Amino acid sequence: MKKLFIIIVIILGSVSSGLFSQSAQDTSVYLITCGPGTETYSIYGHSALRMTIPERNIDIVYNWGVFDFSTPNFAYKFARGKLEYMLDSDYFSRFLQIYMYEKRWVQTQKINLDSAEKKYLLELVNENLRPENAKYLYDFFYDDCSTRIRDLLEKVLGTSLRYQPSSDNKKAQSFRFLTGSYQRPYPWLDLGIDILMGTPSDKKASDRDRMFLPIEMQKELSRALVMREGRMVPLLQNPETVVDFPDPVVKPSIFTHPLLVTSLLFVALTILFAIMRNRVLIKTADIFIFSLYSILALLMMFTNFITDHQQMKYNLTLLWISPLIPVCLLAIILKKDWVVVFRIVFFLSAISFVIVTFFPGIANTAFVPLILIILLRSSARSQFSWHPFTV
């Protein structure tokens, strides 16, 4: 199946190369922007390039967002940041079928290119289609289906391309904020991604940086200008909707929102440990709590020290989901009096609580009850004289 896919890509690429290069004057190039879907991989939208020669009934899409599910060790490579994405070429009609099935809107905008620029763009695309170049290591912020198109246009147009500064004069937003705006309808997904994202995601994104998100790239390129015969003209024409569906409307229930759930969990555990007197039950409950946090701690160590995903590095979540938590779990199971370890976990959690409280923009609000839970249980086993629930 994989070999067949590569053969099809090579055939389509070689055929389109000959046809387009012979008729650059008659070729039209379009930016395709696709609306968000409801699957995790689709909530940010999608971008692709379209090239047509209407007189010859040619209409082909170039798509840098393809990956092969049959890749050996797919899940592990994805987690490690080693999964290769690839460029695919397909007929526009077949490309649209996917979005009609998923009920996602699709817009096209003609790109203002002269014949020489179209020819150069096609040369670059076909160079990308070569088997040795078709695959690339995906980077969510800096190398994805959108940035690949932006980078090609920048190379083709050179200094004649002029980005325009934002007209709203808004303060630059972080990568975390930008992705969060698409994740907000899915609060549990938003919580999980916020846990995994490290400090690189808190970097302020420039107007050009924002283009890693397809819809943001559509906005920025729609405002961009290109020099044509001594005057500046729009890079893109007004969008034409070819598949029309509204954005998916997701209304998460307030009763299952992560902040409410984690808050109720913290209150319930606080009351439970306040009234619980049986040491066996207390130990059992602590083993359960520290086991859950240990799983998270192992995950955090993997994403920070093993994976190649740079967005997950230098994660402040390691303060309260500390690598020392599994040591605490081991101490409880083995009945060891490792007070120092519990105290370190306590103080790290306290520092994290202060950071999240006074700098709420850098963390999910649902973190607070989760921090308080580990703060409560680590302090209880730290043998502080002032603690009412000391074990």
What are the pLDDT digits (tens) for 236-279?
A: 999 999 999 999 888 888 888 999 999 999 999 999 999 988 99
Tell me the pLDDT tens digit for each residue of 58-74. Answer: 999 999 988 776 667 65
pLDDT band at 8 (very low <50, low <70, confident <90, very high): very low
Using a pLDDT cut of 90, give the percent of the chain over it: 66
Residue whose entry in the numeric block shows the structure tokens 């998460």: 252
Task: Please report, for residues 28, 260, 281, 377, the alpha-carbon distance to residue 266 in angstroms, rounded to integers and kept in the order given.
Answer: 59, 10, 18, 11
Tell me the pLDDT tens digit for each residue of 81-104. Answer: 777 889 999 999 999 999 999 999
- Distance of alpha carbon 149 from alpha carbon 210, whole angstroms: 13
CB–CB of 346/378 below 8 Å?
Answer: yes
- Distance of alpha carbon 241 from alpha carbon 35, whole angstroms: 11
Give the pLDDT of residue 353: 94
Rg for the chain, CA atoms, rounded:
26
Domain boundaries, the chain: 2-165+207-243, 254-380
- Distance of alpha carbon 116 from alpha carbon 124, whole angstroms: 12
Sequence-distant (6+) residues with CB within 8 A of 2 are: 68, 70
Tell me the pLDDT tens digit for each residue of 321-366. Answer: 999 999 999 999 999 989 999 999 999 999 999 998 888 777 899 9
What single letter denotes the amino acid at residue 316?
A: L
Which stretches does DSSP call E strand in the chain? Answer: 28-34, 46-53, 58-67, 84-91, 106-110, 135-137, 161-162, 225-228, 231-234, 240-243
- Beta-bridged to residue 47, according to DSSP, are 33
pTM of the model: 0.86
pLDDT band at 76 (very low <50, low <70, confident <90, very high): low
